[in-house]
């Protein structure tokens, strides 16, 4: 059929979809094609997605050099090339039926730019990338996909030049590589960087999409890097646990060694071992417990925060993340907001009670509360945090530790009680630990949701695992507690 | 300075005859105006014609050379009123705005203009914001053309045709003494194509000529008895003159085809999609050769009865394709065919959907249904249906929606965060929102605002609640809306009625949502004395006694200020101006300077934020108070954690809102501001090395201690 070449480009604000479109138009016109492009930007600048649509038609096939009639919008089932600068936008192109197996080459970046709904969820609200990739692969005649954003960062160029290279590399357009590069040169902006990006995109498009195998949970022996006899003993104990729980329990033990000391890690393993001895295949309970128990035992207190913020490895990661040059001076200004509860919570139990009762001491310690900016590259603030971190050996004596210990013991007791009669329910009780996180109000809210669900389990004789799962999801649905309230009376 | 500069593109406006113009639709239309000898131009920005205003602003040098006056009008009403210059002077005029909203704003002046009639060709280029990508309620401008007897041009969407029709529009307007609308859809505005240019023509009569030779025509004034004569004149003379011009100059087009029994009649703007739909069914080719006869209305109002009956007289049936509702043209067609005693059947909204955009697929399905009804043998054997092979419902579940939001570093974000925190403490408040960037405050994560009534009408929208003493309502308005009409329609009215409500004006320095155009309170270098007008002075000028100003980024003070306004004993309108420059504009101005300074060895510091992944617990409370594009999430490196952690990407501009939110809402200790020093001075270096000596020593000590036991 005497039809034009049709191209859809879907890009987010700032990804250079307009630049890419201009290159393509210039390329086509240079190669003696009529080219038409149009777009529906809407509010693209403000982070929505823009759809660009292009048609190209060889001048040689036109009669009397009359322009062909070119459409202003893509038609379902009539698109040759779809370029999506983000994974979900690729999915949306499939959704809108621009991608069909009889003609469409789909060129997609696999990276994600999360939407606000995904980001603001209280737990994990991210879209289903796996499904999108699978379906995109099925829907297209040819599916070329790679992480263009990452490649652009590596090449230190804009993502549009990667896309332009990938279009050339896909071989879908009847123009030679040189003509593509000429379009970049003709535009004359950042030519070197763009050509570098073009080349990288061109080469990446040669490889068909490689669907990575799901990373299987580690099940073999843990070797570890133990350097003392006690540590070696712990590794042995981890390897004696059911293999389904090993990866998590190793990570958990490491976390707790780092958080406190080797004894604390050993204590963790002792608890796990007790549960494991009463567990059955497939050891879901032990596996889940090894995850959530470690997270709870390493609860976030002042000592932990101070410790993390003063470490050398943290400084390295931080500097790399903010792209500091080697030797560049970088101030690291922490936004801290210690509250009286946290300060008192980090005192030994007796002292905490004493401070609470004394108005004068309360007044004194209140001086250390409230919002403050702490530059940890300055000596005094650093020393302050370093001192807080050095209180680690006293942690077991602190009020906060005692409180958490009671909560944890209570939780473990409940799991023990429940698992005899209803194994699945016990696993769900373990998973409810996920609700307890954060600091201040967030932590208080999570804990009260957790307690509300535990109360349901205690009150009623016949609670199903499903019910607990629903309650937990409701608690994660909104931070006003509305969903949980509704679910509780349901 | 507008968001997009057309400084380079406007050079194309100088092209002359024999040269080929390559470029965007709006630029082509501007070129068309200059080729038509326009004497003055103006308008008000709004998608999809915002860039037309930018092109005119950037092209001022060329306009001046030709003696064309350009005015960035204060509102669409201003632009329409400006057209009064063409009532008694042979001045060719063009203005532009977003429709239907802009047409609504302009309607008072337009009605009067249409009544008086014009002697200078008067063209209103309307960006019809309908269908995919539209940002307003879905209505047709068609109704306005009909009720005011203004003509409506809707050309086939390719550049040569658009430019040609624009030139003819001036002539049609003059031939019929009637102002007219030149309608451009979203995609036509952003269409890249080419056409053969002509020389620019300076206006034969200029605004200077008019002022030097004033001409008063009493019968053109909108007072009785002249208004009755105007109505008569419209029907008896202007309308027939317009029809005559349209017929004589062949403005509407017929593309004939062998299938004489049927035909399709449609608005010019739909030509390309009709052809593509026919092409998909094998009934047309890429060059526009069609099997089915087509009647293309490049003028959709008035209709030319004679052309329509001639086209349809011997046909069994025609398909009337018009987008939107009601189906005015289809209804008229029934009347016209009835009067002409035609037997031809009319199909339209029976086979096409009554509402919504006619995309390629919709058009194809509609034409197929029409053929099924009246000429089934033309239907191809396999009308290829949706060829998707995947389960779409599964995709629907997998793909999250992507609503728009405020830009990275936007000064309105901290304000809305403060409002959200305030509502948490104070309780829910009735809030009237407005049009502009501030509209995005109504979307997640803030969800602030109960109604949006129109540009600059945020203040007026809380009028029903003005006299309730007790819990107060809040109105939010941008600076653009304020100058557009909010000062009078909202604040002035509130003063007069002694409203007890709170009025918040978000002053970001520009009409930011439409691309950063200047408004009266804009300042090129942001020095106060450069501002032509101050919002605070204006509201005090209309009698507001309670006026406060606050920097938007001061979240806690903003929150307490709004709380103060809500609880103050003062009875009367309380106006708060929240100031913070649009970050896009600020970055555009400051970034190149910083890059230059760093290059030339000057000391500079650059800030950006960082989230400590290890202390982040994945609750995302920070994001629920922000929605900043650069504050995002990533999966946790800790395999024990299921929930993704917050993460600041490299697009961060260091505005500080996420950190301040963490402080004000008492969130978590994960936020950190990195201050990167470029070209440090000796004092910087000395301090740094002293500090590093101490800190490094202690860190190495702690590292060694940790290394003693490893797992």
The fraction of chain B above a pLDDT of 90, given in percent, is 89
Q: Pick the residue with more confidence: A221 or B236?
A: B236
State the DSSP H helix or E strand holding residue B547, giving kind and residue range, or none if neither. Answer: strand B546-551
* Nearest-5° Cα angle at B538, B532 to B539: 155
Q: Where along chain B do the CATH 3.40.50.970 domains lie?
A: 15-203+220-248, 412-585
Q: Spell out which residues of chain A touch residue B619, defining contact as CB-CB under 8 Å.
A: 122, 437-438, 442, 446
Q: Look at residue A214 and tell me whether its pLDDT is greater than 60.
A: no
A197 neighbors A155 (Cβ within 8 angstroms): yes
Based on the fold, state whether residues A362 and A432 are members of the same structural domain.
no
- Partner-chain contact A46 B390, CB within 8 Å: no
- Partner-chain contact B405 A47, CB within 8 Å: yes
Based on the fold, state whether residues A383 and A489 are members of the same structural domain.
no
B222-259 in b/e form (b: 16+ CB < 10 A) is eeeebeeebeebbeeebbebbbebbeeeebbeebebeb
- Take residue B177 and report the two structure tokens written for it: 């003494």
* Residue B602 CB neighbours (<10 A): 12
**Confidence band, pLDDT 50/70/90 cuts, at residue A273:** very high
Q: Which of A28, A29, A38, A188 to mutate to test the interface with B (most CBs of B within 10 A)?
A: A38
Q: Spell out which residues of chain B touch residue A56, defining contact as CB-CB under 8 Å.
A: none
ipTM of the complex: 0.94
CATH architecture for the domain at B603-679: 2-Layer Sandwich (3.30)
Reduced to 3 states (helix: H, G, I; strand: E, B; else coil), residue A437 is: coil
Q: How far is CA A228 from CA A188, A268, A405, B708, in A?
A: 62, 18, 28, 8
Based on the fold, state whether residues A166 and A199 are members of the same structural domain.
yes
Based on the fold, state whether residues A482 and A375 are members of the same structural domain.
no
Least confident of A90-99, A264-273, A460-469: A460-469
Q: What is the pLDDT of residue A207?
A: 83
- Residue A100 within any structural domain of the chain: yes
Q: What is the pLDDT of residue B634?
A: 95
B345 neighbors B368 (Cβ within 8 angstroms): no
User: What's the mean per-residue pLDDT of chain A?
Assistant: 92
Residue after which a domain boundary falls, among A397, A419, A439: A397
State the DSSP H helix or E strand holding residue B305, giving kind and residue range, or none if neither. Answer: helix B305-312
Number of domains in chain A: 3
- A77: nearest CB among B384, B402, B650: B384
Which CATH homologous superfamily contains domain B15-203+220-248?
A: Thiamin diphosphate (ThDP)-binding fold, Pyr/PP domains (3.40.50.970)
Q: Spell out which residues of chain B touch residue A371, defining contact as CB-CB under 8 Å.
A: 663-664
- Residue A391 within any structural domain of the chain: yes
- Helices A482-489 & A465-475, crossing angle to 10 degrees? 160
Based on the fold, state whether residues A387 and A439 are members of the same structural domain.
no
- Residue A461 within any structural domain of the chain: yes
Q: Which of A73, A262, A292 to mutate to test the interface with B (most CBs of B within 10 A)?
A: A73
Please write the tens of the pLDDT for every residue from A359-393: 999 999 999 999 999 999 999 999 999 999 999 99
- Take residue A307 and report the two structure tokens written for it: 């410790």
Q: What is the pLDDT of residue B557?
A: 98
Q: Does domain B412-585 have CATH number 3.40.30.10?
A: no
Based on the fold, state whether residues A17 and A114 are members of the same structural domain.
yes
Nearest chain B residue to A374, by CA: B672
State the DSSP H helix or E strand holding residue A5, giving kind and residue range, or none if neither. Answer: strand A5-12
Query: How close A420 gets to chain B, by Cα (Å)?
Result: 26
- Residue A262 within any structural domain of the chain: no
What's the predicted TM-score (pTM) here?
0.95
Q: What is the pLDDT of residue B300?
A: 98
Please write the tens of the pLDDT for every residue from A67-94: 899 999 999 889 999 999 999 999 999 9
Q: Spell out which residues of chain A touch residue B696, defining contact as CB-CB under 8 Å.
A: 312
Q: Does domain B253-378 have CATH number 3.40.50.920?
A: yes
Based on the fold, state whether residues A68 and A167 are members of the same structural domain.
yes
Based on the fold, state whether residues A414 and A387 are members of the same structural domain.
no
Q: What is the pLDDT of residue A439?
A: 87
Strands B20-24 vs B192-196: parallel, antiparallel or unpaired? antiparallel
- B695: nearest CB among A45, A51, A379: A379
Residue after which a domain boundary falls, among A366, A397, A428: A397
Based on the fold, state whether residues A77 and A27 are members of the same structural domain.
yes
A262 close contact with B: CB closer than 8 A: yes
- Take residue A462 and report the two structure tokens written for it: 């016949």
B576 neighbors B545 (Cβ within 8 angstroms): no
Q: What is the pLDDT of residue B469?
A: 85
- B672: nearest CB among A88, A334, A446: A334
Q: Where along chain B do the CATH 3.40.50.920 domains lie?
A: 253-378
Residue after which a domain boundary falls, among A397, A424, A444: A397
Based on the fold, state whether residues A75 and A164 are members of the same structural domain.
yes
**Confidence band, pLDDT 50/70/90 cuts, at residue A44:** very low
Nearest chain A residue to B514, by CA: A43
CATH number of the domain that residue A171 is part of: 3.40.920.10
Q: Spell out which residues of chain A touch residue B45, defining contact as CB-CB under 8 Å.
A: none
Give me the half-sphere count of Cα atoms (radius 13 Å) on the Cβ side of residue B40: 24
- Residue A270 within any structural domain of the chain: no
Nearest chain B residue to A384, by CA: B695
Q: Look at residue A47 and tell me whether its pLDDT is greater than 60.
A: no
Q: What is the pLDDT of residue B456?
A: 97
- Residue A140: which domain range? 5-204
In 3D space, the residue among B29, B11, B52 whose CA is nearest the CA of residue B163 turns out to be: B29
CA dihedral A38, A44, A47, A51 (to 10 degrees): -20
CB pairs under 8 A between A and B: 387
- Partner-chain contact A328 B676, CB within 8 Å: yes
Q: What is the pLDDT of residue B502?
A: 98
Q: What is the pLDDT of residue B532?
A: 82
Q: Spell out which residues of chain B touch residue A98, defining contact as CB-CB under 8 Å.
A: none
- Residue A122 within any structural domain of the chain: yes
Q: Pick the residue with more confidence: B382 or A430?
A: A430
User: What's the mean per-residue pLDDT of chain B?
Assistant: 94
Q: Spell out which residues of chain B touch residue A138, defining contact as CB-CB under 8 Å.
A: 389-390
- Residue A237 within any structural domain of the chain: no
Q: What is the residue-wise DSSP string for B80-121?
A: HHHTTHHHHS---EEEEEEETHHHHHHHHHHHHHHHH--SS-
Q: What is the pLDDT of residue B704?
A: 96
Pairs from A224-229 (Cβ < 8 Å, separation ≥ 24) = A224/A250, A224/B711, A225/B710, A225/B711, A226/B710, A226/B711, A227/B707, A227/B708, A227/B709, A227/B710, A228/A262, A228/B708, A228/B709, A228/B710
Query: How close B99 gets to chain A, by Cα (Å)?
Result: 14
Based on the fold, state whether residues A318 and A346 are members of the same structural domain.
yes
- Residue A307 within any structural domain of the chain: yes
Based on the fold, state whether residues A392 and A410 are members of the same structural domain.
no
Residue with tokens 């310690």, as numbered in its chain:
A365
User: Which regions in chain B score pLDDT beneath 70?
Assistant: 1-2, 382-388, 524-530
Strands B631-634 vs B645-648: parallel, antiparallel or unpaired? antiparallel
Please write the tens of the pLDDT for every residue from B492-507: 999 999 999 999 999 9
Q: Which of B279, B359, B390, B642 to mutate to test the interface with A (most CBs of A within 10 A)?
A: B390
- B287: nearest CB among A63, A76, A309: A63
């Amino acid at each position: 059929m005497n039809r034009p070449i049709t191209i859809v480009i879907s890009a987010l604000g700032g990804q250079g979809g307009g630049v890419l479109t201009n290159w393509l138009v210039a390329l086509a016109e240079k190669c003696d094609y009529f080219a038409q492009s149009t777009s529906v930007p809407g509010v693209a600048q403000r982070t929505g997605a823009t759809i660009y649509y292009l048609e190209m038609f060889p001048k040689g096939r036109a009669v009397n050099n009359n322009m062909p009639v070119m459409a202003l919008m893509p038609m379902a089932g009539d698109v040759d090339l779809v370029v999506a600068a983000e994974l979900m936008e690729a999915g949306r192109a499939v959704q809108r039926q621009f991608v069909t197996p009889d003609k469409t080459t789909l060129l997609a970046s696999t990276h994600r730019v999360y939407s606000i709904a995904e980001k603001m969820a209280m737990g994990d609200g991210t879209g289903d990338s796996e499904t999108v990739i699978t379906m995109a692969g099925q829907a297209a005649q040819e599916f070329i996909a790679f992480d263009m954003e990452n490649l652009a960062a590596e090449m230190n160029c804009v993502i549009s030049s990667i896309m332009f290279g990938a279009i050339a590399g896909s071989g879908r357009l009847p123009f030679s590589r040189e003509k593509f590069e000429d379009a970049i040169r003709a535009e004359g902006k950042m030519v070197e960087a763009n050509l570098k990006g073009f080349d990288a995109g061109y080469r990446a498009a040669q490889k068909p999409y490689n669907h990575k195998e799901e990373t299987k949970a580690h099940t073999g022996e843990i070797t570890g890097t133990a350097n003392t006899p006690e540590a070696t003993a712990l590794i042995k104990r981890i390897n004696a646990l059911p293999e389904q729980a090993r990866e998590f329990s190793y990570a958990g033990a490491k976390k707790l060694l780092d958080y406190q000391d080797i004894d604390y890690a050993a204590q963790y393993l002792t608890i796990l071992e007790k549960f494991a001895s009463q567990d059955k295949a497939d050891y879901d309970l032990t596996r889940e417990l090894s995850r959530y128990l470690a997270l709870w035992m390493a609860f976030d207190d002042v000592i932990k925060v101070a410790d993390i913020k003063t470490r050398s490895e943290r400084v390295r990661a931080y500097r790399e993340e903010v792209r500091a040059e080697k030797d560049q001076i970088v101030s690291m200004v922490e936004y801290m907001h210690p509250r009286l509860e946290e300060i008192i919570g980090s005192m030994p139990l007796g002292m905490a009670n004493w401070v609470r009762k004394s108005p004068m001491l309360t007044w004194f310690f209140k001086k250390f509360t409230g919002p403050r900016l702490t530059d940890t590259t300055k000596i005094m603030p650093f020393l302050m945090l370093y001192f807080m971190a050095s209180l680690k050996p006293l942690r077991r004596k602190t009020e906060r530790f005692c409180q958490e210990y009671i909560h944890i013991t209570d939780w473990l007791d409940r799991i023990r009680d429940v698992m005899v009669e209803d194994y699945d329910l016990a696993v769900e009780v373990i998973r409810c630990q996920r609700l307890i996180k954060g600091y201040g109000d967030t932590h208080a809210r999570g804990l009260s949701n957790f307690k509300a669900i535990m109360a349901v389990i205690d009150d009623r004789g016949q609670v199903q695992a499903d019910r607990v799962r629903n309650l937990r999801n409701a608690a994660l649905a909104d931070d006003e507690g509305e969903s949980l309230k509704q679910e509780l009376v349901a | 300075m507008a968001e997009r500069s057309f400084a380079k593109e406007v050079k194309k406006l100088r092209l002359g005859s024999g040269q080929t113009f390559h470029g965007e639709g709006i630029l082509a239309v501007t070129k068309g105006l200059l080729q038509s000898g326009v004497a003055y131009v103006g308008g008000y920005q709004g998608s999809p014609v915002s860039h037309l205003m930018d092109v005119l602003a950037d092209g001022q040098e060329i306009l001046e050379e030709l003696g064309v006056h350009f005015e960035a009008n204060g509102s669409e009403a201003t632009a329409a009123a400006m057209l009064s210059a063409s009532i008694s002077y042979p001045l060719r005029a063009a203005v532009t705005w977003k429709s239907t909203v802009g047409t609504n704003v302009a309607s008072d002046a337009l009605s009067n203009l249409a009544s008086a009639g014009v002697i200078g060709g008067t063209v209103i280029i309307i960006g019809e914001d309908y269908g995919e990508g539209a940002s307003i309620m879905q209505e047709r401008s068609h109704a306005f053309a009909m009720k005011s007897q203004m003509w409506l041009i809707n050309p086939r969407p390719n550049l040569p045709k658009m430019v040609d029709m624009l030139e003819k529009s001036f002539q049609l307007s003059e031939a019929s003494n009637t102002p007219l609308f030149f309608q451009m859809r979203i995609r036509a505005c952003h269409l890249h194509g080419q056409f053969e240019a002509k020389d620019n023509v300076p206006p034969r009569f200029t605004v200077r000529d008019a002022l030097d030779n004033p001409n008063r025509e009493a019968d053109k004034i909108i007072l009785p008895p002249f208004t009755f004569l105007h109505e008569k004149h419209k029907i008896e003379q202007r309308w027939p003159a317009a029809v005559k011009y349209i017929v004589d100059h062949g403005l509407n087009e017929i593309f004939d085809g062998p299938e004489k029994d049927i035909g399709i009649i449609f608005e010019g703007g739909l030509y390309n999609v009709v052809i593509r739909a026919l092409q998909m069914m094998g009934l047309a080719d890429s060059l526009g050769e069609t099997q089915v006869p087509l009647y293309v209305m490049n003028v959709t109002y008035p209709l030319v009865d004679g052309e329509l009956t001639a086209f349809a007289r011997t046909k069994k049936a025609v398909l009337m394709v018009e987008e939107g509702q009601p189906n005015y043209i289809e209804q008229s067609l029934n009347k016209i065919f009835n009067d002409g005693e035609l037997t031809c059947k009319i199909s339209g909204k029976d086979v096409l959907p009554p509402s919504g955009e006619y995309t390629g697929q919709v058009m194809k399905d509609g034409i197929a249904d029409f053929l099924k009804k009246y000429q089934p043998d033309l239907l191809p054997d396999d009308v290829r249906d949706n060829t998707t092979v995947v389960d779409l419902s599964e995709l629907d579940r997998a793909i999250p929606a992507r609503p728009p939001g405020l830009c990275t570093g936007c000064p309105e974000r901290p304000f809305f965060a403060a409002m959200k925190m305030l509502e948490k403490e104070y309780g829910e408040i009735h809030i009237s929102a407005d049009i502009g960037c501030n509209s995005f405050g109504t979307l997640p994560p803030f969800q602030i605002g109960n109604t949006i009534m129109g540009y600059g009408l945020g203040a007026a929208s809380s009028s029903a609640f003005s006299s309730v003493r007790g819990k107060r309502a809040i109105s939010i308005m941008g600076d653009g809306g304020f100058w557009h009409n909010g000062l009078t329609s909202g604040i002035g009215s509130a003063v007069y009625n002694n409203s007890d409500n709170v009025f918040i004006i978000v002053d970001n320095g520009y009409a930011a949502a439409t691309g950063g155009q200047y408004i009266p309170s804009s300042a090129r270098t942001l020095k106060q004395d450069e501002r032509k007008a101050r919002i605070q002075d204006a509201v005090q000028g209309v009698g507001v006694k309670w006026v406060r100003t606050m920097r938007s980024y001061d979240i806690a003070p903003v929150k307490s200020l709004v709380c103060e306004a809500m609880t103050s004993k003062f009875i009367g309108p309380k106006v708060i101006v929240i100031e913070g420059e649009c970050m896009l504009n600020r970055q555009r101005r400051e970034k190149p300077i910083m890059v230059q300074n760093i290059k030339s060895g000057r000391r500079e510091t650059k800030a950006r934020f960082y989230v400590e992944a290890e202390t982040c617990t994945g609750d995302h409370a920070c994001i629920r108070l922000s929605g900043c594009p650069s504050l995002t999430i990533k999966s946790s490196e800790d395999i024990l954690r299921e929930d993704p952690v917050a993460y600041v990407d490299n697009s961060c501009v260091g505005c500080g809102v996420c950190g301040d939110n963490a402080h004000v809402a008492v969130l978590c200790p994960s936020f950190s501001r990195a201050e990167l020093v470029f070209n440090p001075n000796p004092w910087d270096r000395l301090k740094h090395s002293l500090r590093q000596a101490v800190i490094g020593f202690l860190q190495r000590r702690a590292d060694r201690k940790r290394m003693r036991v490893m797992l």
